[in-house]
Amino acid sequence: MHSSRGFSFSNSVRAASIAGSNYNVANNQALWAVGWGKPSAGGSFTEQLRRFEVRSIDLRTCRSIYNEIAMTITDNMMCSGWINASGKECQGTSGGPLIHKNVIVGIRAWGEQCSLARYPGISTLVSRYTSWIQSNA
């Protein structure tokens, strides 16, 4: 990637790798989501970048949950959140990274009802697009 302006790395600004085409995140792994989104429905957007922990949720479970409301989860997606607890994200986290062990594994895409306990957040699965990213960076 290229930037029109330079920047310095610090405790707050770090480089991250992107997931390779064979990178796999097992079920129930700790992931970090980053963004300026609302922490809850009715909440306010923040001016401070926030990060919060979520857990990876296997596609089979995620598909089963979203099938109840006729939403399709494809192999190009990954699911994360808390099955039995409310999420810490709402509107505004889309486009932000989903990070596993300092590797960007997902790009936050959408969620149902502000990531309530029943509905995991959905991200684009970076490993499906590694070649395209490298070709266009």
pLDDT of 18 reads: 95
pLDDT of 115 reads: 53
pLDDT of 27 reads: 97
pLDDT of 7 reads: 82
pLDDT of 110 reads: 87
Q: Count other Cβ atoms within 10 Å, centred on residue 136.
A: 8
How distant is the alpha carbon of residue 37 from its chain centre?
Answer: 12
How distant is the alpha carbon of residue 124 from its chain centre?
Answer: 8
Residue in this structure with the two tokens 């480089």, named with its chain if needed:
15
Is residue 86 within 8 A of residue 106, CB to CB? The reply is no
pLDDT in tens, the chain (137 residues): 677 888 888 887 788 899 999 999 999 999 998 887 766 666 677 778 888 888 999 999 999 999 999 999 999 999 998 765 555 556 667 889 999 999 999 999 987 766 556 788 999 999 999 999 999 98
